[in-house]
Structure 1
Amino acid sequence: MNKLMIGTVLFGLSLSANAGGHYVPGVEGVKGPSVPPPGNYYLGYLVRYDIDALKAPGTDADIPVSNKGTVTAITNRFVHISNTKILGADYGVEAIVPIINKDFNFTAAGYTNEKTAIGDIYVGPVVLGWHGDRWDAVGAAGIWLDTANSGELASAGDGFKSVMLTGGVTAYLSEDKSLSASGLMRYETNSENDVGFEPGDQISFEWGIGKKINSNVEIGLVGYDQWQVSKDKGTGSTANKFSKHAIGVEGSYFSPAIGGILKAAYYNEYDVEAGSGPAPTGDTIRLTFIKPF
């Protein structure tokens, strides 16, 4: 069996098996493409991915033995949005530092282990946020660095670098902006890892439909879709391409007492197809804290 690449990164979890980049969607949700106004921001994510099964390479069928595990991440994201305008957008920068715990019991691979460490770090030198009367838009570019140890399956690092490009739009469907629909897309291209395997490019698409109940509370329907769009290369590669799809719910609350936003979301992956290696499938729970400074 090929080595699984299961890690955690900015905004979420990298949970593909021998394919895909660092980014796995499910942490942006409602109004994900809406960049905040100029200022400094801290975003803290607590994400837990519960693995129910592994899909056999090149199929959507479960490997017929018990393969369970969890990936839990505390991801720290730091964002600075300046007063500088580029192409009419607010210009900013960001960085992400994840702390990852992986706890695996994969019978199919004969592998059981648990590790906790700092994961691969993301550096984003370009964040552009546009704002209209009834819409917001984002464009961004950055790189996932190969900073963490990737010596074995439960290691925190993915063992390769990824360049990530981002674009998305939030549309406000009502005059008071209480109803919104958003779509956020990320494109990743990856370098070769330390065992001679190069994951194919992937596209991740996150969407959200939100409704503000009052000035402090918002609820919504959320989901994500992800596709590998080019073939893997090198050691252990095949022509198979992975894909995954999920749907869920989200709620958020602005707390005047702490001057920040608290969010919670749940996603269920209802369709997963593995690529060159086995792919995990399961459920994600996310808690987010957003605080301006």
Structure 2
Amino acid sequence: MSLALVTSGHALADGLFGSGHYSPGVSNVRDLSVPQEAGFIYEQYNIYYTADKLTNSSGETGFDTDYSVFAIAPSFVWTTDKELFGARYAFSFNPLLVNNESSGGDSSGVGDLFVQPLWLGWQEDNYDINFGAGVYIPTGNSDVTLDLWTTQLQTSGYYYLMDGAGALMFAATYEFHTESDSTDVKPGDHLSFEYGYSQYLTQQLEVGIRGYSQWQTESDDITDTHALVNERLNTSIGSQSQVHGIGLSVGYWINGNWNVTANAAKEYYSESRLEGETYSLNVTYSPKAVF
């Protein structure tokens, strides 16, 4: 995509390499907390993202585009009955299936694998604090992999109201990237903030509101060829990107084992990246009934 945009002479082709692995706003509001009960939980994230514009480094629409991606991300979580540093210990891994569609063609395949060997939760009656460390492994097909390693650190905090029926959430995620083997570009690290509120109206029905912001903390480390293109076409390929979005969620426990939650978020400002809308339909299965 980057090569096609540059060679076609677009003068506003900024930030084309600035993507990271972590997508804020996809998980459910309460998913960033270590489960309180020991055992296995399966969660499948079904994600659809669509964008109709690419913004430049000033936040203006560089040009209209037609891009969409559908992804299926199964999440396998094991919460142990062990404690580490006084916290409940859990671990997880997430494979990924991806299908991209754009004016330049379609691509699909197995995406990069996320493994989180360390996930800790310090839990009290009305709040909890969580910390996770994981890595994205470039195991994906050549058409859909970012072809780089990413180390991810994430912390989240929840404050519970009305005996847990309400939950106020804030989370921060930091990504450290290596150089991409296919592009020789090292993306700038990413910092994501997520916040939201979840409220159970009944034992089974949950509604929520959430928002997110994601920034690159530094510009991409681009090659001499890309730097020359910037100089000749007056572009800013590799500049720091950012995006901000807000959305709603509705979830329902079909019974004590199965939950379905729908999330929708609209991105209202971005720089040097695609700007669009994110939808996810997430299915959770817990062998141990939650009620």
* TM-score, normalized by the shorter chain, greater than 0.5: yes
User: Deviation per CA, 1:244-273, whole angstroms, max 9, x where unpaired?
Assistant: 0000100111111x7121110110000011
The correspondence for 2:209, drawn from 184, 199, 221, is 221
What SS class does the counterpart of residue 164 from structure 1 fall into?
Answer: strand
Instruction: For residues 148-172 of structure 1, give each alpha carbon's deviation from its aligned partner in whole angstroms, at most 9, with x where no partner exists.
Output: 133xxxx211111100001010111
C-alpha separation between the residues in 2 aligned to 1:79 and 1:32?
11
Correspondence 1:68 to 2:66 = yes
Contact 2:75–2:94, Cα closer than 8 Å, also in 1: yes
2: CA distance, partners of 1:3 / 1:184: 35
CA deviations on 1:139-193 (whole Å, 9 max, x unpaired) are 010110011133xxxx211111100001010111x24222221011110000001
- Alignment of 1:144 with 2:131, yes or no, is no
* Letter matched to residue 99 of structure 2: N
Distance 1:116 1:190 in 2: 23
Alignment of 1:171-186 (within 5 A): 171-172=159-160, 174-186=161-173
Change (3 A) 1:164 1:35: same
Instruction: Answer yes or no: is the 8 Å Cα contact 2:265–2:279 preserved in 1.
Output: yes
More helix by share: 2
User: In 2, Cα distance between the equivalents of 1:225 and 1:94?
Assistant: 25
For residues 1-293 of structure 1, the aligned pairs below 5 Å read: 2-3=2-3, 17-36=16-35, 37-56=37-56, 58-64=57-63, 66-105=64-103, 112-150=104-142, 155-172=143-160, 174-194=161-181, 195-235=183-223, 236=226, 240-256=239-255, 259-274=257-272, 279-293=273-287
Residue identity matched to 1:126 = L
Q: Is the Cα–Cα contact under 8 Å of residues 168 and 196 in structure 2 kept in the other structure?
A: yes
Aligned structure 1 segments of 4 or more residues deviating by more than 3 angstroms: 1-4, 236-239
Q: Is the 8 A contact 2:28 2:261 kept in 1?
A: no
What is the alpha-carbon root mean square deviation over aligned residues?
1.8
TM-score by length of 2: 0.86
* Deviation, structure 1 residue 239: 7.1
SS at match of 1:31: coil
- In structure 1, runs of 5+ residues without a counterpart are 5-15, 106-111
* SS state at 1:59 partner: coil
Instruction: Give the gaps of 5 or more residues in structure 2.
Output: 5-14, 228-236
Identity of aligned residues (%): 28
Kindly state the Cα deviation for residue 91 of structure 1 after the two structures are TM-superposed.
0.9
Contact 1:39 1:80 in 2 (8 A): yes
In the alignment of these two chains, the number of paired residues is: 264
- Looking at structure 2, the residues matched to 205 and 54 of structure 1 have their Cα atoms a distance apart, in angstroms, of 22
Equivalent residue of 1:176, what SS?
helix
In 2: Cα distance, 1:282 partner to 1:46 partner = 17
TM-score (norm 1): 0.85
Instruction: Give 1:20 deviation, angstroms.
Output: 3.9
Match of 1:11 in 2: none
Instruction: Name the CA distance, whole Å, in 2 between partners of 1:31 and 1:140.
Output: 15
| Structure 1 Cα separation of the partners of residues 247 and 171 of structure 2 | 16
Query: 1:29–1:206: 8 Å Cα contact kept in structure 2?
Result: no
